[in-house]
Structure 1
Amino acid sequence: MSQYPIRPQHRRPGRAAMTNPDIRYDRIAVEAVDDGWDIDEDEPLPVLRTDVTEERLRQAISRNHSPDLSFDRSVNPYRGCEHGCIYCFARPSHAYLGLSPGLDFETKLIARPNAAAQLCKELSNPRYRPAMIAIGTNTDPYQPIEKERQIMREVLGVLRDFNHPVGIVTKGALIERDIDILGPMAAKGLTRVGISITTLDPKTSRAMEPRVPSPAARLRTIRRLTDAGVPVRVMVSPVVPALTDHELEAILEAAHDAGAVAASSIVLRLPREVAGLFRDWLTAHYPDRAARVMGRVRELHGGKDYDPNFGSRMTGQGAWAAMIRQRFQLATRKLGLDRSLPPLRTDLFAKPPAPGDQLDLF
């Protein structure tokens, strides 16, 4: 072990993860050491930039059979997420790419530029049967690089042309750009949106979700979507014990005032590498309550950092979980947010005519 402190390699403005944990599929672990040579403390460190590579999809629609989810198919325009939420349950998926769930997840992104074309091909298959496609269930389709890449907008254009139902989950205010597509789709009963708000405190949000629009900006997004006729569900997710749980009712009330028509909530879950990343983040940003937060997390998940079991992994267990559920139920009932949104329509689905096709006379 080196006797010298390890100097960071980069400055990390706007990043939540502190490190890059080893990739669990690698057989060799890497540990940085410093022998004390060639250290210039006055030399400024380079900024850790976002790097985007491209992946050509062979299949746009991913299928799942999870009993915890209300959908069986999804589309992901990107892998990795520049929003950088420290608690993101999708971080471990980066290990499948040979990348770390830590800083790599926030900075080494994969864009899928042919997602819309491949989706069009799959929807055109005569054997395809429509059901709601979920987008944003793994990484956010409206993360910052979408402003330039516009892959999500192209995907939405395909879904609009096929009159295919879509449910979107996002923290990104960039979704307002696509109101011209979402509004008419909502009028046909083809779309709804979930906006995630974890805290109303901008300081906590900036530390925990460094490149996500502010809570106030997300509330404005709810209002603009609602004014365009798009049904919006506020997602108080995740509820972080001893850090954001006291804001539950306030978030619901603010979202209701902004126009949200339904609500949902999920407690903090820390699968695989996320647990260590979150503990390091807590120690750095909230050292006075780190032990208390993690104690509550373990109470929620049967004494462990994470409970992977279906049925309990998103709701938690024990007295504290029961109290959160009761508070959520009381608040949503009071605000009229305790309702299920009607299912999206599938009967309008049809392959759009291609250029040169003979149109029906009647």
Structure 2
Amino acid sequence: MYVGWDALALVDAADDGRSPIERRAVVRGGFYELQARTVIERVPQATGIAQRWAVSPYRGCAHACRGCGARAGHRKLGLDAGRDFDTRIVVRPNVVERLRAELARWDGQELAVGVGGDCYQAAEETYRLMPGVIGALAGAGTPFTVYTKSALVLRDAEALARAGARVAVSIAFVDERIRRAVEPGAPTAQARLELVSALVEAGVECRVLMAPVLPLLSDAADQLAATVRRIAQTGARAVEPVVLRLVPGTREWYLEWLAQAHPGLVERYEELYDRTGLPSPGYEGRITGQIAQLCQMYGIRCGTPEAVSGGPRAAQLELV
């Protein structure tokens, strides 16, 4: 999925029953520390976010969101895309050092931060990598958007505001029963709504990634309306809707849960999604259209943010 992490899977070490990452990483307090070779990595188009390149201090995420599109990356580390993704968090201790080096040759395109795993999940309390990441990006004049569900981002709100960064907080629905089922380790929707308000008050440009909208579970008209109405009350800059993607890695884990929790929906999901994991264009267009109408009703912008670009510093990195 991402170049910097994929290289690990190519290591041909003796078969001693351990995964490649268990042979290469230093394990501390349950975290797997792995020195990265590159940190600016291509974002697969199937994620649905605006940025095409990203930096992720952590791979895997304790929020354990069943529909997370980053799960496949764990397979390339010799781990599984299900439970391991939720519990075996891979840390890049040298992310700031590598990022500074790569930004010296970066072309100024906007970067996403935290696509491979929430950059403000619990691991950040231990490693404190984000202040250095923010400093490196700000120093290079590179625009960036931080993706998170965690209130820990407020620790760095002043630095983010000074850097002119965007923060995208994920709030796909406000039904707590659904949240407990599909985002068991994540903060509640109410906590995230309060987080958006706090970021706005701190002067940080904040938008809400309304993702993933779950077909047949969180896509009813009243559910969408309640979510957009609550988001609009926070002062968020805009709503960016994304319907659930079932890419390899995510598909198996999500459908396994669906078969247990809602067996009657499995066949309908199989009909709705193509082989690449994308929902049918007709369904996706209907849902995003409904959300756009609701945003207009509640006075908040809807859609992908306008691209921003810093000044080119040199030739773009070549990632192979």
Deviation at 1:65, TM superposition (A): 7.4
Alignment match, 2:180: 206
Give, in whole Å, the separation in 2 of the partners of 1:343 and 1:278: 31
Q: Could you say if the C-alpha distance between residues 338 and 113 of structure 1 is closer, same or farther in structure 2, counting changes exceeding 3 Å?
A: same
**Percent identical residues:** 31
Q: Do the aligned partners of 1:236 and 1:264 also contact (CA within 8 Å) in 2?
A: yes
Give, in whole Å, the separation in 2 of the partners of 1:169 and 1:275: 22
Give, in whole Å, the separation in 1 of the partners of 2:250 and 2:309: 37
Deviation at 1:137, TM superposition (A): 2.3
Alignment match, 2:33: 54
Q: Secondary structure at the match of 2:217?
A: coil
Name the structure, 1 or 2, with higher relative contact order (CA <8 Å, separation 6+): 2
Alignment match, 1:164: 142
Alignment match, 1:119: 99
1:289-320 CA-to-partner distances (Å, cap 9, x unmatched) read: 4313x34423432xxxx5427xxx2x5333x4
Structure 2 residue identity aligned to 1:256: A
Q: Secondary structure at the match of 1:139?
A: coil
Q: How does 1:60-139 map to 2 (within 5 A)?
A: 60-64=39-43, 66=45, 70-125=50-105, 128-139=106-117
Alignment match, 1:331: 294
Aligned residues: 286
Q: Do the aligned partners of 1:54 and 1:110 also contact (CA within 8 Å) in 2?
A: yes
Alignment match, 2:269: 297
Q: Secondary structure at the match of 2:186?
A: coil
**Structure with the greater alpha carbon radius of gyration:** 1
Structure 2 residue identity aligned to 1:163: G
Q: Could you say if the C-alpha distance between residues 297 and 330 of structure 1 is closer, same or farther in structure 2, counting changes exceeding 3 Å?
A: same
Gaps of 5+ in 2: 1-28, 315-320
Higher helix share: 2
User: Pairwise CA RMSD of aligned residues?
Assistant: 2.8
Q: Do the aligned partners of 1:195 and 1:232 also contact (CA within 8 Å) in 2?
A: yes
Give, in whole Å, the separation in 2 of the partners of 1:72 and 1:321: 21
Q: Secondary structure at the match of 1:131?
A: coil
Q: Does 1:217 align with 2:202?
A: no
TM-score, reference length from structure 1: 0.72
Give, in whole Å, the separation in 2 of the partners of 1:296 and 1:254: 29
Deviation at 1:105, TM superposition (A): 0.9
Q: Could you say if the C-alpha distance between residues 64 and 283 of structure 1 is closer, same or farther in structure 2, counting changes exceeding 3 Å?
A: closer
Q: Do the aligned partners of 2:161 and 2:205 also contact (CA within 8 Å) in 1?
A: no
Give, in whole Å, the separation in 1 of the partners of 2:72 and 2:295: 32
